[in-house]
């Protein structure tokens, strides 16, 4: 009995010493000549309207075995601004080293937040998020594009913006034809948008799946029930995870 307890204690100690255990259960095969990465390019922290400190997103990603993440704070919506005063790069800067230490690829991103149309878009692979703060949304898109960003339309069928139908607007044609749209969220949180999947196939845009997580991940996902921020089978573009309930 004493030996058993010692073994259990050592196991606990090893886990504590190594930090959070990593879940390797989410296995997606590599394709010919390509390495598959599991990514989530839509997340929020207290630096916009999320409810966690940025390091928590790294811990969550590590625990789930994700390879790459992007904190995509709203440029225009900062409900905690009385308590958190920082520029648009700050949440990224805070976890740069922490993510590297955990082996998580960190990509700088931001959410360009407007009413429909054009709605919400994420720009990732940014160099500097601050120039995206602009009155005219086209100036924000231009600032992102000038940095070589990859831009995708978020939650196109979000009921708060498109309650009747998931509609493609004229402005989306302009964004698409102008090179300001490279992908669309086919899955956001628990929502799936079949119209977006068809648009992606028709226009050769990347299908994206994201969590759009605002709370601590375990608030939205019950891991004890086997739920996970899983990769839906309909993705064959950028892989992501799903799970959040809120989208904004």
Binding site for Zn ion (CB under 5 A): 111, 120, 154, 212
Least separation, in Å, of the C-beta of 246 and Zn ion?
8
Least separation, in Å, of the C-beta of 205 and Zn ion?
18
- Report the residue number, 62 or 153, with the smaller CB distance to Zn ion: 153
Give the CA angle between residues 25, 22, 215 to the nearest 5°: 95
- Report the residue number, 22 or 166, with the smaller CB distance to Zn ion: 166
- Report the residue number, 59 or 111, with the smaller CB distance to Zn ion: 111
Least separation, in Å, of the C-beta of 83 and Zn ion?
20
- Report the residue number, 44 or 102, with the smaller CB distance to Zn ion: 44
Least separation, in Å, of the C-beta of 78 and Zn ion?
13
- DSSP line for the chain: -HHHHHHHHHHHHHHHHH-SPPP-----PPBTTB----EE--B--TTTT-SS-HHHHHHHHHHHT-SEE--EEESS--TTTTT----TTHHHHHHHHHHHHHT-EE--EEEEE-STTT-EEEEES-S-SGGG--SSHHHHHHHHHHTT-EEEE--TT-TTT-SS-----HHHHHHHHTT---EEEEEETTEE-HHHHHHHHHHTPEEEEE--B-S-HHHH--GGGT------TT--SS------S---
- Report the residue number, 64 or 111, with the smaller CB distance to Zn ion: 111
- Report the residue number, 76 or 111, with the smaller CB distance to Zn ion: 111
Least separation, in Å, of the C-beta of 2 and Zn ion?
52
Least separation, in Å, of the C-beta of 211 and Zn ion?
9
Comparing every residue's Cβ against Zn ion, the nearest one is 120
């Amino acid at each position: 009995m004493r030996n058993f307890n010692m073994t259990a204690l050592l196991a606990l100690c090893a886990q504590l010493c190594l930090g959070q255990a990593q879940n390797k259960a989410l296995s997606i095969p590599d394709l010919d000549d390509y390495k598959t990465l599991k990514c989530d390019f839509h997340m929020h922290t207290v630096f916009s309207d999320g409810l966690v400190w940025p390091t928590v997103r790294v811990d969550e990603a590590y625990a789930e075995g994700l390879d790459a993440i992007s904190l995509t704070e709203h440029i225009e919506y900062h409900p905690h601004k009385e308590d958190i005063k920082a520029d648009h790069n700050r949440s990224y800067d805070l976890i740069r080293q922490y993510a590297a230490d955990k082996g998580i690829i960190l990509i700088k991103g931001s959410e360009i937040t407007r009413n429909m149309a054009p709605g919400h878009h994420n720009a990732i692979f940014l160099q500097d998020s601050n120039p995206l703060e602009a009155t005219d949304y086209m100036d924000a898109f231009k600032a992102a594009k000038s940095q070589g960003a990859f831009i995708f339309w978020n939650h196109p069928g979000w009921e708060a913006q498109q309650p009747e139908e998931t509609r493609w607007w004229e402005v989306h044609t302009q964004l698409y034809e102008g090179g300001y749209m490279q992908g669309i969220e086919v899955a956001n949180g628990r929502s799936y948008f079949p119209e977006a999947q068809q648009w992606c196939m028709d226009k050769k845009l990347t299908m994206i799946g994201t969590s759009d997580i605002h709370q601590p991940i375990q608030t939205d996902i019950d891991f004890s029930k086997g739920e996970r921020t899983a990769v839906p089978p309909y993705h064959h573009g950028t892989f992501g995870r799903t799970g959040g309930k809120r989208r904004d």
